[in-house]
Amino acid sequence: MATVTPDKTLDASGLNCPLPVLKTKKALEELQSGQILEVITTDPGAKADIPAFCNRTGHQLLEVVEEGGKIIFYIKKK
């Protein structure tokens, strides 16, 4: 269970690469600096793609939770 409370949730379940990353980028653009985005995905590739996106863009990956076939990322906007 996550220890982070998100400001916004993006459900990208059922979407495959590159859509989870593209939708994450768009959702982060709508947030203010310091706010937290929760991204829910079922794409196994996202386990590598989302952290790489955060490293490349400077957003902070706070937590990753895997439960019930879903991968949930908590990202703090830079």
The pair of three-digit structure tokens given for residue 44, joined into one six-digit string: 């196994």
Place of tokens 């989870």: 20
Is 17 known to be catalytic?
A: yes
| Catalytic one of 2, 4, 17, 65 | 17
User: Hey, which residues are catalytic here?
Assistant: 17
